[in-house]
């Protein structure tokens, strides 16, 4: 049986689906250009970062990291969410955030941070049990290679959130102990582990020169300064522009150190959005000492 108009009808229907979203080529994602996804830069008052794009209503967002060249952003989104998300600036435009899937098997991944040279990204995931371990992916000319489990005594414990100094010293969290540890890169390995000395502390973000570290404890964000004896100063509470009656956690820094990112749990049902603020807020004369 011959249907002379059938091909025309099919083509019309396919075109309709392409144009109006049934297949997904036409999307409502806005055109975003420039550094920090084209967002208006904050000053001394924290602002929600990329509302409706990264910080979405009624969803948890935390652990934001920007690549050293500024063209890629990782963050974690959950409940609802796909875990570790990534957006990139390609040909001058930012892509819609999607699941990073660095392990390549759709595992739950979260909290990715770059080494300062941008050639590795470390993140947390589960190797097949319920415990969190550190993984890393390496970059080549085509992008990120499939991630590997970090071969280190660090992963003998339940750990997450690894950040790095310019000499690749790692600072991370032991989840069960709620303590911050560090490990120097020696002969290409992280073998020796040192307790930084803070209790009930998590999510450390160390400056590249290791001069100061941000972290959260009991729902507030603190700063500590590195001292000459390789010890850290007593924690100092950031002021009430950052710390409010809501929970604030998961601090990180922009690659140039100009902006602090953190999560504030003031969204629907106490879920978190990512905020950012100028880092000059951490000048010593603007801090409130808790001692």
pLDDT of the chain along its 291 residues, tens only?
443 443 343 333 433 333 333 333 345 899 999 999 999 999 999 999 999 999 999 999 999 999 999 999 999 999 999 999 999 999 999 999 999 999 999 999 999 999 999 999 999 999 887 899 999 999 999 999 999 999 999 999 999 999 999 999 999 999 999 999 999 999 999 999 999 999 999 999 999 999 999 999 999 999 999 998 889 999 999 999 999 999 999 999 999 999 999 999 999 999 999 999 999 977 654 554 433
Question: Which pLDDT belongs to residue 282?
Answer: 78
Structural domain of residue 193, as residue ranges? Answer: 34-286
Q: Is residue 10 part of a domain?
A: no
Residue 199 tokens read as 């209790």
46-78: burial string, b at 16+ Cβ within 10 Å, e else: bebbbeebbbbeebbbbbbbbbeeeebbbbbbb
If one counts the domains in the chain, the total is: 1
Q: Is residue 42 part of a domain?
A: yes
Q: Is residue 208 part of a domain?
A: yes
The CATH number assigned to the domain holding 259 equals: 2.120.10.30
Q: Is residue 159 part of a domain?
A: yes
Q: Is residue 181 part of a domain?
A: yes
Question: Which pLDDT belongs to residue 284?
Answer: 53
**3-state secondary structure (DSSP) of residue 279:** helix
Q: Is residue 291 part of a domain?
A: no
Question: Which pLDDT belongs to residue 4?
Answer: 43
Contact 190, 152 (CB under 8 A): yes
Residue 251 tokens read as 């601090």
Q: How far is CA 171 from the centre of its chain?
A: 15
Q: Which helix (H) or strand (E) holds 93?
A: strand 93-94
Task: Look up tokens 């941070």; give the residue.
Answer: 113
- Which CA distances in Å does 76 have to 86, 141, 157? 9, 25, 22
Q: Is residue 176 part of a domain?
A: yes
Give the residue among 228, 230, 183, 174 at the shortest CA–CA distance from 202: 174
Q: Is residue 6 part of a domain?
A: no
Beta-carbon contacts of residue 109 (< 8 Å; ≥ 6 apart): 83, 84, 100, 101, 102, 103, 123, 124, 125, 135
């Amino acid at each position: 049986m011959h249907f002379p108009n059938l091909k025309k009808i099919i083509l019309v229907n396919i075109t309709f689906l392409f144009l109006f979203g049934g297949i997904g080529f036409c999307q409502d994602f806005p055109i975003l250009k420039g550094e920090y996804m084209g967002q208006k830069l904050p000053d001394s008052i924290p602002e929600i970062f990329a509302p409706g794009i990264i910080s979405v209503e009624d969803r948890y967002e935390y652990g934001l990291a920007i690549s050293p060249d500024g063209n890629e952003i990782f963050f974690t989104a959950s409940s609802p969410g796909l875990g570790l998300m990534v957006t990139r600036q390609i040909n001058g435009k930012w892509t819609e955030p999607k699941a990073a899937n660095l392990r390549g098997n759709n595992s739950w991944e979260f909290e990715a941070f770059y080494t300062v040279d941008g050639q590795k990204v470390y993140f947390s995931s589960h190797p097949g049990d319920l415990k969190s371990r550190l993984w890393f992916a390496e970059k080549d000319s085509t992008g990120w290679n499939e991630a590997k489990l970090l071969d280190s005594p660090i992963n003998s414990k339940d750990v997450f959130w690894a950040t790095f100094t310019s000499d690749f010293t790692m600072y991370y969290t032991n989840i069960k102990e709620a303590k911050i540890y560090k490990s120097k890169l020696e002969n290409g390995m992280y073998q020796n582990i040192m307790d930084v000395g803070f209790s009930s502390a998590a999510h450390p973000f160390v400056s590249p020169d290791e001069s100061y570290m941000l972290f959260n404890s009991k729902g507030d964000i603190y700063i500590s300064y590195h001292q000459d004896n390789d010890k850290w100063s007593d924690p100092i509470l950031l002021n009430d522009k950052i710390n409010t009656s809501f929970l604030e956690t998961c601090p990180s820094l922009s690659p140039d150190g100009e902006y602090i990112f953190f999560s504030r749990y003031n969204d629907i049902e106490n879920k978190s959005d990512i905020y950012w603020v100028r880092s000059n807020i951490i000048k010593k004369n603007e801090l409130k000492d808790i001692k």
